[in-house]
Every structure is written in C-alpha cells, then in structure tokens.
C-alpha cells in the first residue's frame, strides 16, 4: 500500500487562521478490508465552510477534530477495490479529505459516488456539478423560488456557488446582479457568466456606497438574495429589498474569524415581510440528483462556464485556503494532487 501525505489540523486559530494551524505528515495507507476501496485523489476541494470547522464552537458544520486529516471533498480514481460496485479505473467523488490517498467504505452512504467524465471534467464535480452547484440550486429553487423577470442578487458571484447561481437564475428568466471583488472578477461575471450587472465590493466598501451601487444596478428593487458574505453587504441589500423578498442564507465569510456580524436595521425584515432561511445542503440529499442533472446540462451546453483556481501539490493547500478566505481565488479553488 502507498505512503500517504496528509494535512492535519494541528491547533485551533486564535482569530485569523494561519498556516501554522496545519501540519503535513506522511503515514502508511492501511490494507483494504472487505467492502473497502482505495482512491488516488486527483483534486482536493477548498471551501469557505472549512474555516468554521476549525473553531471549537458552534457552527453550521461539524467541528474538525485536532490531529486528524482536514475534512474536504475530493475527486479521484479507484486503484484497488474490494467492493463489487467499484472497479479499478472508476472515477469517483467523495469526502476523502486533505490527503493524497483515502480508503473508503464502498457501502457507506455519501462516501463515494461514481462520475462520468466524458462530457464533464473530473474537477467540475467539486464545483459547478458538485456540492457548490447544488448549494446554489437549493437556495435558488427551494428558498428564493423566483418568478421570471424578478431581480436576484448574489454575493461572491465569481466563485463556485455564485457562478452556478447566476446560470441557474438566468435559465429561469431572472435579472441577475452579482457582487464580486475587483474589476477582473466583475468582467468575468458579466462577460462570461452572463449576469446583467456586477458590483465591485472593493470599490464600494461601506454601507452608503454599496447601497447606492445596488440602487443603480437594481432599479426595480431586489426580490431575492443569495448570501455568502454578510456584513455591510447584507445591510445594503436589506435597504433595497422589495416587499416579500427572500434571502437564502448560505455563508457568512465576513464572520468566520469569530467576529460578530451585527445587523444594522433588522426592522426591515418585518417592514418588508421578508423570508430569511439558512440551510446546509448536505441535509437535503433528496434534491441532489435533480440539481446535478440540471447543472451538468448547463455545463455541457456552455451556459455555465466555471473558472478554477488550482494550487499545485498537497503542501500548497493551507496557503491556498487562507488566500481563498481573503478572496484571492478566481472561481472554484482546488488543489491538484496528481
């Protein structure tokens, strides 16, 4: 069995996370037992929710144990199998974690899923045709539930979730406005993803400025908002929300270092009779097949053209993750392992 490089959570962050919170080790891969599968990871997914898991406090994701491999999504290839459902050479997506190899129980629900790479690149199953894409699909269809012609806004619009949200919303006849960091990302959001407008949050770093930018981009108000960030952006959206607007609360990256995120004017939720619902997409596995089918169709037809930021090698994962938290990625952040 191969030697396996792994990244562990060595200690918990005190405030902002650093590379010193992680530790790179090498261990023997255990021999396969009956029903198990050995997977060589090709790509590792880095996602903002992982920052919440590093804290020893209540979060929407389970706490990451110290001294264990960092949890995370992976795609790769079966190189040895003692399970009848998996053959050598099968391409699979799973939760293999921050390591080069994993031994998975082939019968455990949600541990492994075979994927077809004839039309969809393997790495896309960690982004547009994976958990981020399904996250966008759920928030749009199950919470915002838009009607054609309505105006929808999404923060972190150039990322894996935001780009998928835009394609799904445009397919339903909505006006879609993105919020992203920097002119290059905004050009990508409108030019390649087909959003109707994009606001550069770096140019509108306070409530008054962001509110005015949203007013210009959303002259008919905001009917639905997909939240990835929090902070003054959410306050500005509430100021421009229409009556009966819906907010799908997916992430609050502005508060992942433990800082509180007070809401400036919560009375707007009542005044506008708004619906605000947080969700965790892994709690809604029943919708995944329908969501993945639609997302795969959008990618195959060219209506969803996701970008990827790819770091090289397992040792690069901690710094790439920290850069992601500061918006340094452009599209889905991955680590290439092979």
Q: Give the domain ranges of the chain.
A: 3-127+306-336, 131-282
pLDDT value for 138: 98
Whether 245 contacts 302, CB under 8 Å: no
Strand partners, 38: 80, 103
DSSP per position, 63-77: PPPTTSBPP--EEEE
Residue with tokens 């007013």: 215
> Are 214 and 232 in contact, with CB atoms under 8 Å apart?
no
* Token pair listed for 22: 């992680």
- The SS3 call for residue 80 is strand
CA 18 to chain centre: 21
What angle (nearest 5°) sits at the alpha carbon of residue 132, between those of residues 113 and 145? 115
pLDDT at residue 59, rounded to an integer: 63
Q: Residue 333 forms beta bridges with which residues?
A: 309
Tokens of 155: 């923060």
DSSP labels, 16-50: S--GGGEEEEEEEPPPPPTTEEEEEEEEEE--THH
77 alpha carbon, distance to own chain's centre: 23
Q: Which CATH architecture has domain 131-282?
A: 3-Layer(aba) Sandwich (3.40)
- pTM: predicted TM-score of the whole model, two decimal places: 0.91
Buried b (16+ CB within 10 A) or exposed e, 178-212: bbbbeeebbebbbeebbbbbbbbbeebeebeebbe
The C-alpha torsion from 267 through 271 and 272 to 273, rounded to 10°, is 90
Please give the pLDDT value at position 271: 96
Reference 250, options 112, 151, 153, 146; nearest CA is 153
pLDDT for 58 equals 65
Question: Is there a contact between 46 and 72 (Cβ–Cβ < 8 Å)?
Answer: yes
**In sequence order, what are the residues at sequence separation of 6 or more whose Cβ sits closer than 8 angstroms to the Cβ of residue 298?**
128, 167, 168, 171, 304
User: What is residue 55's predicted lDDT score, i.e. its pLDDT?
Assistant: 87
Q: What is the chain's pLDDT, residue by residue, as a tens digit (338 residues)? A: 899 999 999 999 998 999 999 999 999 999 999 999 999 999 999 998 899 889 887 666 678 999 999 999 999 999 999 999 999 999 999 999 999 999 999 888 878 999 999 889 999 999 999 999 999 999 999 999 999 999 999 999 999 999 999 999 999 999 999 999 999 999 999 999 999 999 999 999 999 999 999 999 999 999 999 999 888 999 999 999 999 999 999 988 766 666 778 899 999 999 999 999 999 998 999 999 999 999 999 999 999 999 999 999 999 999 999 999 988 899 999 999 99
Q: Could you count the other beta carbons within 10 Å of the beta carbon of residue 298?
A: 20
CB 288 within 8 A of CB 219: no
CATH class of 3-127+306-336: alpha beta
Angle at 49 between CA 190 and CA 306, to 5 degrees: 30
């Amino acid at each position: 069995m191969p030697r396996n490089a792994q990244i562990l959570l060595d200690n918990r962050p005190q405030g902002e996370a650093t590379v010193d919170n992680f530790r790179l080790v090498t261990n023997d891969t255990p021999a396969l037992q009956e029903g198990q599968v050995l997977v060589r990871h090709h790509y590792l997914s880095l996602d903002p929710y992982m920052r919440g898991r590093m804290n020893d406090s209540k979060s929407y994701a389970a706490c990451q144990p110290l001294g264990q491999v960092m949890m995370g999504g992976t795609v790769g290839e079966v190189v040895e199998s003692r399970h009848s459902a998996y053959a050598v050479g099968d391409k699979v997506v799973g939760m293999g974690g921050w390591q080069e190899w994993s031994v998975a129980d082939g019968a455990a629900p949600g541990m492994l899923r075979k994927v077809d790479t004839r039309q969809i690149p393997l790495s896309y199953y960690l982004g547009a045709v994976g958990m981020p894409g399904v996250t966008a699909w759920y928030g749009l269809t199950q919470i915002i539930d838009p009607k054609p012609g309505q105006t929808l806004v999404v923060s972190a619009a150039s990322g894996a979730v935001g780009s998928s949200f835009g394609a799904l919303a445009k397919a339903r006849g909505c006006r879609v406005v993105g919020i992203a960091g920097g002119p290059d990302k905004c050009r990508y959001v409108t030019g390649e993803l087909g959003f109707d407008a994009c606001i550069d949050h770096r140019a509108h770093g306070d409530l008054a400025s962001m509110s005015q930018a949203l007013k210009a981009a959303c002259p008919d108000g905001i009917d639905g908002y997909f939240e990835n960030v929090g902070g003054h952006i959410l306050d500005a959206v509430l100021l421009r929300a229409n009556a009966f607007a819906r907010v799908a609360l997916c992430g609050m990256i502005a508060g992942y270092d433990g800082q509180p995120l007070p809401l400036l004017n919560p009375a707007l939720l009542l005044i506008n009779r708004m619906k605000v619902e947080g969700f965790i997409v892994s709690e809604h596995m029943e919708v995944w097949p329908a969501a993945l089918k639609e997302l795969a169709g959008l990618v195959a037809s060219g209506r969803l053209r996701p970008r990827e930021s790819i770091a090289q090698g397992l040792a690069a994962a901690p710094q790439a993750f920290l850069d992601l938290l500061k918006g340094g990625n452009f599209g889905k952040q991955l680590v290439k392992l092979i």
